[in-house]
Amino acid sequence: PRDTVDVVVVGSGGAGFSAAVSAHDHGAKVILIEKEPVIGGNAKLAAGGMNAAWTDQQKAKDIKDSVESMYKDTMKGGRDLNEPELVEVLTSHSKGSVDWLTAMGADLNDVGRMGGASANRSHRPTGGAGVGAHVIQVLYDNAVKRDIDMRMNTRGIEIIKDDKGNVKGLLVKGMYKGYYWIKADAVILATGGFAKNNERVSKLDPKLKGFISTNQPGATGDGLDVAANAGAAMKDLEYIQAHPTLSVKGGVMVTEAVRGNGAILINREGKRFVNEITTRDKASAAILNQTGKSAFLVFDDSVRKSLSKIDKYIGLGVVPSADSLVKLGEMTGIDGKNLTEAVARYNSLVKSGKDADFGRPNLPRALNEGNYYAIEVTPGVHHTMGGVKIDSKAEIMNAKKQVIPGLYGAGEVTGGVHGANRLGGNAISDIVTFGRMAGENAAEYSKKN
Ligand code: ADP
């Protein structure tokens, strides 16, 4: 029958698609549901990259990196509150996940720097186009090729269990069919985070009340309620990340890769004030400390040319530009004289190879080519680190730390991988690695049940 399968996947972001494809390839019959009318979740919006260590792509560019270094950076970025065994899985499988996507047709050949990383390990398509849209496209194409049953406008409502507590399926609500039961031995929750739900966000972190968000409308966190009703324990819900650079005009999220490729942060007084590629929590706090609670990403044509995504922001009309820094100051309200001095000082630091002012670890290029650009930015709610508690096999656990048989979780709906603060580039890595793992383990589990 149509509604009886081995594995149901809830959510069509990167975690859900990775889980669905992987479960299928391990022999399971799969249905993937998505409550929104479109696929891709928040994953589709990810612009920065996919962190991975010791990859062929890095080796081709002579980049020295290691799994240990990625592990250390991830723990440090998360203020050591991450679950070590989950970080172990994230980092040691990161190359495997890049290879898995590459074998399915992904281009992850461009490798750049993101905040909190001690090496260039953020993988993205050649030319620097958005990684999330590309990865979702590749996964979607592969799901179609495998004839996986995908149902949009279908919301996961309640996990159904037998009297022994084993998962037996999912009650869903389809836009046209209404409520019905999908029978399955295993359910994978890949419902993402809740950054778009300011009520939920501000209850957990009152400082974020009224903040705008970078997320898609479906990022409301109702998957957490589905999990909680099934007995899932929660972890770290109070850790909610602001992304430091949303454009004040238009609310467009400006990827961290703009800074990674060389842009600097300047305040209204025309001065630098922070290591631009510090972790997101620190960069956000620093911006909120400036006059007007915003700052400007300043860069030149050499940075613009290094990242095709920047032309998209220009196309959206959120990037004032001028052929001199003084003119740029006049257009944006930045003190032009100080700005000119700050850029000259920065260029001298680039030349010396060391940021004596703020300790920025990468200084990719001087800012002295062609036109200058400034994007006014302010932090917005971006990622929710907390979620359901999982073990290193992506099994969801209850408050007694027992596995709920047949229930799996992957991606932003889970807690523990990122501790108190996620590093840029670790989300795509997380969703692909844990999604694959959830898919494989759910498929194997369903064979035994
Ligand atoms: P991840 O990055 O962890 O894969 P995303 O935010 O990209 O997470 O994707 C999660 C997807 O799950 C979104 O498209 C969201 O609309 C969908 N979703 C959330 N809750 C439900 C639900 N209860 N039923 C079906 N889909 C859901």
Ligand 1 contact, 387 CB (< 6 A): no
Dihedral sign computed on CA atoms, order 188, 197, 137, 379: negative
Give residue 64's Cα distance to chain centre: 24
- The CA 135 to ligand 1 mean position distance, Å, reads 16
Q: Is the CB of 428 under 6 A from ligand 1?
A: no
155, 280, 360, 436: which one is catalytic?
280
Alpha-carbon span 271 to 251, nearest angstrom? 24
* Angle, CA of 170, 228 and 420, to the nearest 5°: 125
Is the CB of 382 inside a 6 Å radius of any atom of ligand 1? no
Cβ of 49 below 6 Å from ligand 1: no
Residue 433 CA to residue 427 CA, distance in Å, equals 10
Q: Assign 189 to helix, strand or coil.
A: strand
Alpha carbon nearest to ligand 1 atom 15, residue = 218
Distance of CA 302 to the CA centre of its chain: 26
- Ligand 1 atom closest to residue 16's alpha carbon, by position in its atom list: 4
Q: Which residue's alpha carbon is at the smallest distance from atom 23 of ligand 1?
A: 156
Please report the atom of ligand 1 found closest to the CA of residue 17: 4
For residue 449, what pLDDT is reported?
Answer: 87
148 near 439, Cβ under 8 Å?
no
How many Å apart are CA 52 and CA 144, to the nearest integer? 27
Would the CB of 378 count as within 6 Å of ligand 1? no
Is 36 close to ligand 1, i.e. is its CB under 6 Å away?
yes
- Return the best residue to mutate from 33, 35, 182, 428 for the ligand 1 pocket (most ligand atoms within 8 A of CB): 35
79 is catalytic: no
pLDDT of residue 197: 97
**Ligand 1 contact, 34 CB (< 6 A):** yes
Token representation of residue 337 = 């004289």
Q: Which amino acid does the sequence have at 306? A: S
* Ligand 1 mutation pick, 191, 222, 226, max ligand atoms within 8 A of CB: 191
Distance from residue 301's CA to the centre of ligand 1 (Å): 37
Q: Quick one: which of 232, 366, 371, 364 has its CA closest to 311? A: 371
Angle between helices 67-77 and 94-103 (to 10 degrees): 110
From the CB of 132, is ligand 1 less than 6 Å away?
no
CA-14 nearest atom, ligand 1 = 4
Indicate if ligand 1 lies below 6 Å from the C-beta of 16.
yes
Q: How far is the CA of 122 from the centre of ligand 1 (A)?
A: 24
Going by C-alpha positions, the residue among 309, 134, 215 that lies closest to residue 297 is 309
Query: What pLDDT shows up at residue 360?
Result: 97
* pLDDT tens digits in sequence order for the chain, 449 residues long: 789 999 999 999 999 999 999 999 999 999 999 999 999 999 999 988 999 999 999 999 999 999 999 999 999 999 999 999 999 999 999 999 999 999 999 999 999 999 999 999 999 999 888 899 999 999 999 999 999 999 999 999 999 999 999 999 999 999 999 999 999 999 999 999 999 999 999 999 998 988 888 899 999 999 999 999 999 999 999 999 999 999 999 888 899 999 999 999 999 999 999 999 999 889 999 999 999 999 999 999 999 999 999 999 999 999 999 999 999 999 999 999 999 999 999 999 999 999 999 999 999 999 999 999 999 999 999 999 999 999 999 999 999 999 999 999 999 999 999 999 999 999 999 999 999 999 999 999 999 98
Per-residue CA distances from 243 to 76, 215, 274, 378, 379 (Å): 18, 11, 15, 8, 5
DSSP letter (8 states) at residue 152: S
CA angle, corner 422, sides to 101 and 253, nearest 5? 80
Residue 218 sits at the vertex; the CA angle it makes with 15 and 254, to the nearest 5 degrees, is 80
**Torsion 429-431-437-443 (CA) sign:** negative
Closest CA to 325 of 314, 338, 340, 335: 340
Work out which ligand 1 atom sits closest to the CA atom of 427. 2
* Strand 50-51 with 110-112, pairing: unpaired
Q: How far apart are CA 412 and CA 23, in angstroms?
A: 19
Nearest residue (by CA) to ligand 1, atom 11, is: 11
Q: How far apart, in whole angstroms, are the C-alpha atoms of residue 324 and residue 326?
A: 5
How far apart (Å, rounded) are the C-alpha atoms in residues 16 and 391? 18
Amino acid making up residue 197: N
